[in-house]
């Protein structure tokens, strides 16, 4: 037999073996995911970025979470606490008033990645840290409802709520007390904990992680590598290595996907833009799996109230009237992303249409500007009586091709309304790590936030959540919105148990928000997901508890 015939025969034999009954190809055990942003912190309570949550959800689990069907479920607990099952009780408080006792029963076989059990002490420490005003936490409000914790045993604790709450069965991620408590105690007083937290200083520490994966490699601004947690008691991950790779430019992200350098892109608005995903589906309908899930992710523009121009509500309203948001959505997103009037999505049970609306109306915009003292001048730009031009700066995440295109469209529409807008973008880590958090933007900043069904707006709209240097920038109220009626409504929305009264409170909150025009609502995203053929168990959710929370179910 010649060498050529031998090679051909061997190849044929291998082909027969590959497709013989009872044999199968080796499963794919590495998945490389491209992202257009990189987290500025991996601490679950510092810097509320979607990309941070996306990465963390491979490696940590909240006590409860909303599943893809939008049902609240246990992740670390054995049973969702309710009034019906007796794990929640309404109690009389000393001095009068009503509160709640919520019993959390942790699963007994949970362990951190170093083998240390997850216990009630972790829950107690998380509450202590989150409610410390010097912690620098940006999203502590879920634990802020608790006035005390009683440890019953290693896996059972009672949370004592100072008020009756309607979200008594939604609880967040736990922090490992055996690692973070000493660091917190040393650094909380001077505000250094934000930097010294092991999540930032040593993110590959196994004991930080209680989910199916561990962070095994962390290269800031480059990539994060995840490996299975050997102590995870649930379903063992079939994918042995997950690589989260930063490619900040969305056009380059698409090229990396097509070249095979990455296997998929993250959904949830931190991967490709929706127009890119639609175009990919059109060109390569059978090369990837595609999903476009309507979501609660809210794209909007924050307005800097400390800017003298934007202090006038008439100018803020004129900015909204001058933008043809419906045309922008139709042209850029194929009409798939509905125009927003407030932060509450029509998919949410508390949404209302009964709010002040700002349809595209350039005449109304001009009338409002004139009433505010702005009249057209040289170059078609409005000026005030002192000759000051109506000029503002717009910022967003650099490298996001679609957002940059949105900026150009907005800039053009505002110019037609005699408003000059300059564009100045920053990398996501800078924009969210400092600029938005410290409210150091001078004019407008465009970004999105994601939420869960029925989430309280306390974190973003209450007076008490305004970050300052004095409180180490705790809180996510990036527009410094402070309205006493809104605060009262937020408290009522968190404590009212009567469905009709609760809906009325949510309606009032949305009406206050729309009238104030402190934000330009743009649209609600349809989350685009582009993932490999053959990847099973991947289920987009459409809300703030994202697909990686069930990553142990992913397999090829």
The per-residue pLDDT for range 259-300, each reduced to its tens digit, is 999 999 998 878 898 889 989 999 999 999 999 888 888 999
* pLDDT score at 137: 83
Burial profile 461-500: b = 16 or more Cβ within 10 angstroms, e = fewer: bbbebbbeeebbbbbbbbbbbebeebbebbebbbbbeeee
Interatomic CA distance for residues 503 and 506, integer angstroms: 5
Interatomic CA distance for residues 526 and 20, integer angstroms: 43
Residue scoring higher pLDDT (94 or 368): 368
- Residue 317 belongs to a domain: yes
Interatomic CA distance for residues 317 and 519, integer angstroms: 9
Is the pLDDT score of 139 beyond 70?
A: no
The per-residue pLDDT for range 357-374, each reduced to its tens digit, is 999 999 999 999 999 999
Interatomic CA distance for residues 420 and 393, integer angstroms: 9
Pairing of strands 420-423, 391-395: parallel
530 - beta bridge partners? 265, 290
The per-residue pLDDT for range 286-343, each reduced to its tens digit, is 999 999 888 888 999 999 999 999 999 999 999 999 999 999 999 888 788 899 999 9
Pairing of strands 64-66, 72-74: antiparallel
Please, what is the average pLDDT of the chain? 91
Q: What is the CATH number of the domain that holds 309?
A: 3.10.105.10
- Residue 546 belongs to a domain: no
- Residue 59 belongs to a domain: no
Confidence of residue 27 (pLDDT cuts 50, 70, 90): low
- Residue 40 belongs to a domain: no
Is the pLDDT score of 444 beyond 50?
A: yes
The per-residue pLDDT for range 400-423, each reduced to its tens digit, is 888 999 999 999 999 999 999 999
- Residue 144 belongs to a domain: no
- Residue 92 belongs to a domain: no
Confidence of residue 399 (pLDDT cuts 50, 70, 90): confident
Is the pLDDT score of 48 beyond 80?
A: no
Are the C-beta atoms of 354 and 511 separated by less than 8 Å?
A: yes
The per-residue pLDDT for range 165-195, each reduced to its tens digit, is 888 999 999 999 999 999 999 999 888 998 9
* pLDDT score at 8: 41
* pLDDT score at 16: 35
Is the pLDDT score of 429 beyond 90?
A: no
Average pLDDT over residues 192-221: 96
The per-residue pLDDT for range 493-515, each reduced to its tens digit, is 988 889 999 999 999 999 999 99
* pLDDT score at 392: 98
* pLDDT score at 246: 96
* pLDDT score at 140: 60
Confidence of residue 24 (pLDDT cuts 50, 70, 90): very low
The per-residue pLDDT for range 510-547, each reduced to its tens digit, is 999 999 999 999 999 888 999 999 999 999 998 889 99
CA distances, 462 to each of 68, 321, 353, 454, 501 (Å): 29, 26, 22, 16, 20
- DSSP-derived letter for residue 26 is P
The total number of structural domains in the chain stands at 1
* pLDDT score at 3: 38
- DSSP-derived letter for residue 368 is H
Q: How far is residue 399 CA from its own chain's centroid?
A: 19
Interatomic CA distance for residues 197 and 41, integer angstroms: 10
Interatomic CA distance for residues 17 and 209, integer angstroms: 42
Three-class SS state of 31: strand
- Supply the DSSP string of 192-219, one letter for each residue: THHHHSHHHH-TT-GGG--SSEEEEEEE
Interatomic CA distance for residues 277 and 360, integer angstroms: 28
- Residue 368 belongs to a domain: yes
A 10 A CB-CB count for 521 gives 22
Interatomic CA distance for residues 164 and 91, integer angstroms: 9
Alpha helices for 299-382 (secondary structure H): 313-321, 325-333, 362-371
Residues 6+ apart with CB under 8 A from 5: none
Are the C-beta atoms of 420 and 392 separated by less than 8 Å?
A: yes
Is the pLDDT score of 1 beyond 80?
A: no
Interatomic CA distance for residues 51 and 35, integer angstroms: 8
- Residue 119 belongs to a domain: no
Three-class SS state of 346: coil
* pLDDT score at 72: 94
Find tokens 């008439």 and name the residue. 314
* pLDDT score at 451: 83
Domain extent, residue 318, equals 296-526
Burial class (CB in 10 A: 0-12, 13-18, 19+), 20: exposed
Interatomic CA distance for residues 342 and 329, integer angstroms: 16
The secondary element (H helix, E strand) that includes residue 295 is strand 288-303
Average pLDDT over residues 416-441: 93
- Supply the DSSP string of 419-430, one letter for each residue: -EEEE--B-HHH
């Amino acid at each position: 037999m010649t060498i050529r015939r031998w090679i051909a025969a061997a190849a044929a034999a291998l082909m027969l073996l590959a497709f013989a009954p009872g044999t199968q190809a080796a499963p794919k055990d590495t998945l490389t995911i491209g992202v257009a942003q990189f987290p500025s912190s991996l601490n679950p309570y510092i810097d509320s970025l979607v990309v941070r949550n996306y990465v963390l959800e491979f490696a940590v689990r909240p006590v409860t979470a909303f599943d893809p069907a939008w049902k609240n479920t246990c992740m670390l607990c054995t049973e969702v606490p309710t009034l019906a099952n007796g794990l929640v009780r309404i109690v009389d408080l000393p001095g009068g008033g009503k509160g709640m006792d919520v019993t959390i029963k942790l699963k007994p076989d949970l362990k951190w990645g170093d083998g240390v059990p997850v216990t009630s002490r972790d829950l107690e420490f998380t509450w202590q840290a989150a409610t410390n005003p010097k912690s620098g936490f940006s999203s502590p409000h879920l634990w802020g409802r608790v006035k005390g914790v009683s440890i019953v045993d290693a896996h059972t604790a009672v949370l004592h709520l100072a008020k009756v709450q309607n979200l008594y069965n939604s609880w967040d991620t736990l922090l490992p007390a055996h690692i973070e408590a000493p660091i917190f105690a040393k650094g909380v007083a001077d505000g250094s904990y934000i930097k010294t937290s092991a999540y930032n200083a040593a993110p590959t520490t196994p004991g930080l992680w209680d989910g199916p994966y561990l962070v095994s490699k962390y290269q800031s601004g480059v990539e994060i590598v995840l490996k299975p947690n050997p102590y995870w008691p649930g379903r063992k991950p079939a994918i042995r290595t997950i690589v989260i790779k930063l490619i900040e430019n969305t056009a380059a992200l698409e090229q990396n996907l097509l070249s095979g350098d990455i296997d998929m892109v993250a959904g949830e608005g931190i991967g490709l833009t929706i127009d890119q995903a639609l175009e990919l589906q059109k060109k390569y309908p059978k090369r990837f799996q595609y999903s476009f899930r309507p979501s609660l992710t809210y794209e909007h523009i924050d307005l800097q109230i400390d800017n003298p121009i934007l202090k006038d509500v008439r100018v803020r309203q004129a900015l909204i009237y001058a933008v043809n948001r419906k045309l922008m959505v139709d042209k850029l997103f194929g009409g798939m992303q509905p125009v927003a009037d407030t932060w509450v999505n029509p998919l949410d049970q508390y949404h209302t249409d009964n709010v002040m609306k700002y349809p595209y109306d350039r005449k109304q915009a001009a009338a409002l500007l004139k009433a505010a003292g702005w009249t057209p001048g040289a170059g078609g730009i409005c000026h005030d009586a002192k000759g000051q031009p109506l000029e503002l700066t717009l910022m967003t995440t650099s490298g996001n091709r679609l957002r940059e295109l949105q900026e150009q469209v907005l800039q053009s529409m505002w110019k037609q309304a005699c408003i000059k807008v300059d564009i100045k973008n920053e990398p996501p880590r800078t924009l969210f790590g400092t600029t938005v958090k410290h409210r150091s933007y001078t004019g407008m900043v465009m970004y999105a936030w994601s939420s869960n069904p029925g989430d309280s707006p306390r974190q973003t709209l209450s007076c008490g959540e305004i970050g300052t240097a004095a409180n180490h920038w705790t809180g996510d109220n990036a527009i410094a919105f402070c309205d006493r009626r809104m605060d009262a409504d937020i408290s009522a929305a968190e404590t009212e148990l009567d469905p009709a009264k609760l809906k009325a409170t949510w309606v009032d909150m949305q009406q206050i928000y729309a009238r104030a025009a402190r934000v330009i609502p743009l649209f609600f995203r349809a989350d685009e997901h582009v993932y490999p053929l053959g990847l099973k168990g991947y289920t987009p959710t459409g809300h703030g508890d994202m697909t990686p929370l069930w990553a142990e179910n992913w397999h090829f």
